[in-house]
Structure 1
Amino acid sequence: MRARWARPAMPWIGLAQEMTDLPLRIGLERHPDAAVVRGRAGWLVRGLLAMALVGAAAWLGYAIAFSRGLDQRHAAAQQRLAVEAAQLDGYLSRFEYLPSLLETSPDVFRLLGTPDDRALQQSVSLHLKSINLLAGADNLYVLTVDGDAIAAADFDQPGTPVGSNLSYRPYMRQALATGRGAFFGIGITSARAGYYLSYAVKREGRTIGVAVVKVNLDAFEREWRNRGADMLLVDARGVSILASRDEWRFRPLTPLAVDALEEIATSKPYGSSSLAPLGWSFLERGERSGRVATERGTVYSMDERPLQERQWQLMLLDDIAPIRRTALIIGALSGLASIVALLLLGLLAQRRHEIRQRLASQAALQAANDRLEIRVQERTAELRAAQDELVHAGKLAMLGQMSAGMVHEINQPLAALQTASDNAVQFVDRGMIGEARGNLVRIGELVRRLARLTGQLRVFAYKSHAPLDSVSVEQAVAETLKILGARVKDGGVEVSVDLAPELQVRADQTRLEQLLCNIVANALDAVEGAAQKSISIRAAREEGQCRIAIGNSGPAIAADVLQRMFEPFVTTKPAGKGLGLGLVIANHIARSFGGELRARNLDSCGAEFVVLLPLAA
């Protein structure tokens, strides 16, 4: 590899040094005192620049850390607000159906028709109390269209609205005007704050009364306090209606306008609260976030989230003092890092002369390195040429192996061809023309078989472009046994065949027969020295595939050979009897059909080869 040598660092430092040294040398020759003054002035300027750089680095580190800290705090706050808003909305939504539920009670309609019936008031109030116990609301009551409370779930408790006129309440006016109403405020009779949901009770399209449910939200305030979170819920007027701190509750964020105060005096949503502004100063306020300073001077990061359909804002305040402290630490570290950087620059400037002296030796080393690299490139080219020669030799060797494999494949048809031709001559000599004709027909079939086999010489090296078709397994097995029939007979081998009927696979007829011939021929070789010579061929459908199992009664295959059974030149046959290519070719053919070839030893004796092929459609 080419060595990489360092170049002189920071050439502008040397130029600046030379420019500084030149007037100093001139001053030393003419005015020594002036030279001292100039030298001190130069150091003063450099010191001031260094201090400015350190200060700028410290300020930049502080600003970036503070900004990123605020961004992370805002992101976390928005996630918390989303959860809180969902909980609050879900809690309030549970009670929206409750007022309309009273329309299903006939007693409510009768009471609204005769509001002065005391017994009916008692009965409806008890009914409301039973419903409220199940719903878990703060209160549930019924008003006439004039605003008189005539029945309530808390009729037997102090502060019950029964007997009071609430026609001035906004939720009453909203229900009469639009059929529904919503309002947050302090109860006039109970002095407890709550969220009111109203529903107009109608008969034949005419409003005859209003049903109201009051929901207590104090549990949310308690949960905020327990978690130590500073949170506010602000209504449409900008007044805090829920707060984690008591001194923030029922106080507006900013002073209220005169018309707002007049409307509050009429509807009385905040009871006797003074509505004194919180006195906060908004240092920064965006769409959903900002910073605010309280009356005590504490600065908070502020995040807001609106509650859908309620015109409320949920606010979360976080003290930014920890963020500021972290930013100050990072700013200080940035300043220290800049000091270290300046010291390193000074060190580099002092070493520039040494670097210049090393350049000459580095140049010499670079030249030697270049010569070495050229030599490495030449050697690499020689190795590549040798590699190409090896690849070429490998190709020639494979060509020889494939030729030997083809000889292995056509030996059996040639033997059968010789036997059939000899028999045909004898039949002709004896005048047995019919038998001779049968042998000649068989010879023709074997010749065509040999032509097909030689046409498949390139099947191992190239993928066939001939489309696959539906092939009968029974016919392929029959052709295989015809080709190897002479070896089966001469060897005294018992062949059993068990094939499922009408079994068709997606393959090529010639190559499937070639695959089966290779496996059966290997089986014949395996049983040559066995006491019992038998071969079984079974085929059946299995899990959407065709499973062809060819077993033999020969010796088991060694474990190390079984793992490499389908690699070239792996064979258990003696030298000169096999090249170890038959199963390689068979495996290649099976894979070209979209199947696979497996081998295993049988439990009793012998081995079994299993071909899995896709069934024809």
Structure 2
Amino acid sequence: MDRPPVVTPRHRTFRAALRWGAALALVALSAFVGHQLSQQTGLARMREAAEHRLDMIATGLDAELTRFDYLPALLEMTPVVPALLRSPGDPALSDAANRYLAGVNATTRAEMLYVLDAGGTSLAASDWDQPGTTVGQHFAFRPYMIDALAHGRGRFYGVGITSRRPGYYLSYALRREQAAPGVVTVKINLEDNESAWRKLPGDLVVVDQRGVIILSTRDDLKFRPLLPMDALQRAEVLRARPYGTAPLEPLQWQRVEALAPGVDLLRIDGADKLGTTRTLRHAPWQLIALDDMGALRVGARNAAVTAALGMVALLLLGVTLWQRRLAERQKLANQAALQAAHDSLESMVVARTAQLHAAQDELVQAGKMAALGQMSAGLAHELNQPLTAMRTLSESAAILLDHRRDDDVRGNLKRIRDMVDRLARLTAQLKTFSHKQQLQRVPVVLAGAIAEAQVIVAGAQQKYGVQVEIDLDPPQLAVMADEAALGSVLVNLMRNAIEAMEEAPQRLLRLEGRLHGDGRALLTVSDTGPGIRDDVVPHLFEPFVTTKPAGSGLGLGLMLCAQLVRAMDGDLQAGNRAGGGAYFAVELPAAGLE
């Protein structure tokens, strides 16, 4: 007959490590998937919004750049302009042309309108009566003048020579008078467009054919090239002077990743931006919408934390159900063992009266096995308490995330971590009891141990409306104890006291700590319940002795508390208070803290 395989402690440790590893892997995978889904969805929304902004801005800017195309024909049909080109030194013609250009400019609402002869000298201008007028200025070096004479029209963005204000120049050659051709130039002010763009979300820049930002919703980016200029570009800039006296300091502009055609992840002066690019139809420029990635990444991190917490909650629920199933199976096995022992005892009493001593030995052994099973069920109940608290904290963390209370979420995560540590210490105690090893006694601050216990019994406290008072003198009073064992004792005593006050008119749980005797500390847990029956007090710390209704308790909690306290070189006593209610006094060695 084959024997079942022997499960050694090493095998159990390996299986536990595998389960913890699988759980951590599931949590990490959930966080990763939540992060990726949130980031991809956020990127899609940002791209759609940026493309909508670019459609609107590009349409408006193209319309602004083409709405003056009718001016050459208008000025050629006006007698005063051709006459001025033929007789540039006539004062009367100059005055008439100046006034005519001022009137046309007032109607078209351009920033400036002026006429130049073939040599690039301004003969008349709409600002003829303003300080810094262009009349008489020489502009033959400007690209818009050169292109107009060579190709019939020119376009140029630059800072004005006299006004020092940037603008977009449109130039048109006037060729009806072949003997004295001239050029009419319109300057458009695009700074109003910049002001309108600042009201839109995100940032926007316009990059010219040299790779220099000429329009921007951020002043610190204006007139800065995306990349350092080469010698040829610098020579051209020096000749045409399009950027005035700007230092042209290059940006730290880096394309990190191409996400889609015209959509890139950029790093600008150390900050990550989503860049969406659109090319204008009527100018050699590019519109680039820049959106900050900070909010997107915060949202992705929050989604990752939420997904991880959701998986933790599911895992905790699974562990809880698994523990409950194990407890039920153990309970049924214990009942079957007790019934078998009872049946065996009855048959032995009837059939073998002469072997009473042997039958009694077997009954004792069966009782020991039953006690061991009941103790296992009690420990499973103790494990379920912090698991319930952890589930409450994880649900609270999800609500806090919705309200963006990140600090409170971190606090809940720390409490969950502490609960996990407590579960590990409680399960480690099973090995301690089975091998009869000594508990690890270290200095434990009572205030901290009580606070941890309060978290576990908070549900019962709220359910029964119990008020808690804590009086420690001194406040930093500490004892030499095993932290997990002391926590288990406090939780058991506090929960018993809370449940004892279910029907009490006044429900007050008081914990009082004092130095007691030579190097000892005394912690008293008292309640305002009905107290303990006098016939029960002497047997209170014996197995299966309980004052709770049938089915509500196993009668093992106080016995375990007494054993734990004795293992820590302490003593546990109980009694009734003179004013009503019960008390439990835990005496332990005091610890001196710096």
Give TM class, smaller chain. Answer: 0.5 to 0.7
Within 2, Cα distance between the matches of 1:109 and 1:229?
Answer: 48
Separation in 2, partners of 1:117, 1:287: 58
Q: Name the structure 2 match of 1:90.
A: 63
Query: Is the CA contact 2:255–2:265 (under 8 Å) kept in the aligned structure 1?
Result: yes
Matched residues in 2 for 1:120 and 1:312: separation? Answer: 39
The amino acid that maps onto 2:261 is E
Equivalent residue number for residue 263 of structure 2: 289
Q: CA deviation at 1:204?
A: 5.8
Q: Does 1:259 align with 2:223?
A: no
Deviation at 1:232, TM superposition (A): 0.8
Mapping for residues 283-432 of structure 1, pairs under 5 Å:
283-285=256-258, 286-295=260-269, 297-343=270-316, 346=319
State whether residues 236 and 311 of structure 1, in contact with CA within 8 Å, keep that contact through their aligned partners in structure 2: yes
Task: Please report the RMSD computed on the Cα atoms of aligned residues, expressed in angstroms.
Answer: 2.5
Cα distance in 2 for partners of 1:284, 1:262 equals 33
User: CA offset at residue 26 of structure 1?
Assistant: 2.4
| 2:203 matched residue in structure 1 | 230
Choose which of 156, 160, 167 in structure 2 pairs with 1:187: 160
1:140 aligns with 2:119: no
The SS at the match of 2:206 is strand
Measured in 1, the distance between the counterparts of 2:217 and 2:72 equals 30
SS in 2 for 1:203: coil
Alignment partners' CA distance in 2, 1:197 and 1:355: 89
1:79 alignment counterpart:
52
Bigger mean CA offset, 132-141 vs 222-231: 222-231
Structure 2: tracts of 5 or more residues without a match? 330-594
CA distance in 2: counterparts of 1:202 and 1:276, whole angstroms: 41
Deviates more, 1:100-109 or 1:347-356: 347-356
Could you tell me which residue of structure 1 aligns to residue 32 of structure 2? 59
TM-score, with length taken from structure 2: 0.52
Question: Greater CA radius of gyration, 1 or 2?
Answer: 1
Q: What's the counterpart of residue 277 of structure 1?
A: 250
Residue 202 of structure 1 deviates from its aligned partner by 0.8
Aligned twin of 1:210: 183
Question: Is the CA contact 1:303–1:317 (under 8 Å) kept in the aligned structure 2?
Answer: yes
Deviation at 1:80, TM superposition (A): 0.9
Determine the C-alpha separation between the residues in 2 that align with 1:206 and 1:177. Answer: 16
Equivalence map 1:91-106=2 (5 Å): 91-106=64-79
**Structure 1 residue aligned with 2:212:** 239
**Residue 107 (str. 1) matches residue 86 (str. 2):** no
Asked whether the equivalents of residues 168 and 187 of structure 2 are also in contact (C-alpha less than 8 Å), the reply is: yes
Change (3 A) 1:355 1:151: farther
Please give the per-residue CA displacement for 1:133-167, whole angstroms capped at 9, x wherever unaligned: 11100000001111111110001112221111111
| Counterpart code for 2:145 | M
What is the DSSP-based 3-state SS (H/G/I as helix, E as strand, rest coil) of the residue aligned with 2:181? strand
CA–CA distance in 2 between the matches of 1:75 and 1:206? Answer: 55
Q: Are positions 1:43 and 2:21 aligned together?
A: no
Is the 1:184–1:196 Cα contact (8 Å) retained in structure 2? yes
* Cα displacement (A) at 1:107: 1.0
- Cα offset, 1:257, TM superposition: 1.9
User: By how many angstroms is 1:192 displaced?
Assistant: 1.0
Superposition deviation, residue 74 in structure 1: 0.7
CA–CA distance in 2 between the matches of 1:126 and 1:260?
39
Which AA in structure 1 matches 2:262?
R
Residues 85, 117 of structure 2: 8 Å contact kept: yes
Shift of 1:342: 3.4
Where in structure 1 do 4 or more consecutive aligned residues deviate above 6 Å?
A: 347-356
Conserved 8 A contact 1:232-1:241: yes
> Which residue in 2 is equivalent to 1:463?
none
Whole-angstrom CA distance in 2 between matches of 1:228 and 1:65: 21
> Does the aligned pair in 2 maintain the 1:99–1:197 contact within 8 Å?
no
Aligned partners of 2:304, 2:25: CA distance in 1, in Å? 14
How many residues are paired up? 327
Q: Deviations over 1:503-556 (max 9, x none)?
A: xxxxxxxxxxxxxxxxxxxxxxxxxxxxxxxxxxxxxxxxxxxxxxxxxxxxxx
SS, match of residue 164 in structure 2? coil
Q: Against the structure 1 CA distance between its residues 100 and 269, is the aligned structure 2 distance closer, same or farther, given a 3 Å change threshold?
A: farther
Contact 2:123/2:135 (CA < 8 Å) preserved in 1? yes
Tell me if structure 2 keeps the 8 A contact 1:57–1:338. yes
Once the two structures are TM-superposed, the CA of residue 123 in structure 1 deviates from its matched residue by 1.1
Q: Could you give the per-residue CA deviations for residues 360-419 of structure 1, whole angstroms, max 9, x where no partner exists?
A: xxxxxxxxxxxxxxxxxxxxxxxxxxxxxxxxxxxxxxxxxxxxxxxxxxxxxxxxxxxx
The worse-fitting range, judged by mean Cα deviation, of 112-121 and 140-149 is 112-121
What is residue 249 of structure 1 aligned with on the other side?
222
Structure 2 equivalent of residue 199 of structure 1:
172
Give, in angstroms, the shift of residue 302 of structure 1. 1.5
Distance 2:181 2:328 in 1: 100
Residue 291 of structure 1, CA deviation: 2.0
Q: CA deviation at 1:169?
A: 0.7
Structure 1 equivalent of residue 151 of structure 2 = 178
One-letter amino acid matched to 1:160: T
- Of all paired residues, the percent bearing the same amino acid is 40
* Code of the aligned partner of 1:231: L
Deviations 1:558-603 (A, max 9, x none): xxxxxxxxxxxxxxxxxxxxxxxxxxxxxxxxxxxxxxxxxxxxxx
Secondary structure in structure 1 of the residue aligned to 2:257:
strand
Q: Does 1:168 align with 2:141?
A: yes
Is the 8 Å Cα contact of residues 230 and 245 (structure 1) preserved in structure 2?
yes
Partners of 1:96 and 1:204 in 2: CA distance: 20
List per-residue Cα deviations over 1:221-264 (Å, max 9, x = no partner).
11223446411111111111111121111111111222111111
Distance 1:151 1:62 in 2: 64
* Structure 1 residue 152 corresponds to structure 2 residue 125: yes
- Asked whether the equivalents of residues 117 and 180 of structure 2 are also in contact (C-alpha less than 8 Å), the reply is no
State the SS of the aligned residue for 1:27.
coil
